Amino acid sequence: MPHSDNKQLKVEILDFKPKYARYFSDINRNWLEEFFTVEPYDRIVLEDPESEIIAHGGQVLFAKVEGEIVGTCALLKHTESKFELAKMGVLKAYRGRGIGRKLAEAAIAKALQTGADTLVLATSQNLEAANALYHSLGFQEVSFDEIGPLPYKRKSIVLRLQLEEKHG
């Protein structure tokens, strides 16, 4: 169970292992159902991250706190130099404690390690805490051309981070 005190959590960021796949699905379904609805494309990606993300050169990361997986995110490969930060979620009981920031920073570092110079993401204006995090990391709103057509009914905005400027 999460502690109610404000002491700094020890967050460990882990790479994908098949045994963690259910957490990727469960954590993302949790926030999608809270704010939106789980759409057909969500189901495809959440049910088989190995085939849908990793097999295409992407990565899935997990945040572990006190032995429990409490957060996750994915890096989807668009091109050699462009990745998409996607499916980032943290269990409700652990939100607001820096776990999303640690996941996003780890994803940025992974993208840089692969030689990417651009990181994009699609988000909703309704996700105020997530968007505050993205903007604090240097993401800026851009045209949908940066990401291409989205397979969702939910209304989205697109943000981009130029990695060589911010972290190069």
Q: How many domains does the chain have?
A: 1
Q: Which residues of 2-26 are buried (b: 16+ CB within 10 A; e: fewer)?
A: eeeeeeebebebeebeeebbebbbe
For residue 72, count CB atoms less than 10 angstroms from its CB and return exposed for 0-12, middle for 13-18, buried for 19 or more: buried
Q: What is the CATH number of the domain that holds 138?
A: 3.40.630.30
Here the tokens at position 54 are 């990793």
Residue 3 lies in a domain: no
| pTM tops 0.85 | yes
Q: Give the pLDDT of residue 8.
A: 75
| Percentage of residues in the chain having pLDDT higher than 90 | 85
Q: Which amino acid type is present at position 14? A: L
pLDDT above 80 for 155:
yes
Beta carbons of 114 and 83 less than 8 angstroms apart: yes
Q: Which domain holds residue 41?
A: 11-167
Per-residue pLDDT band for 168 (boundaries 50, 70, 90) equals very low
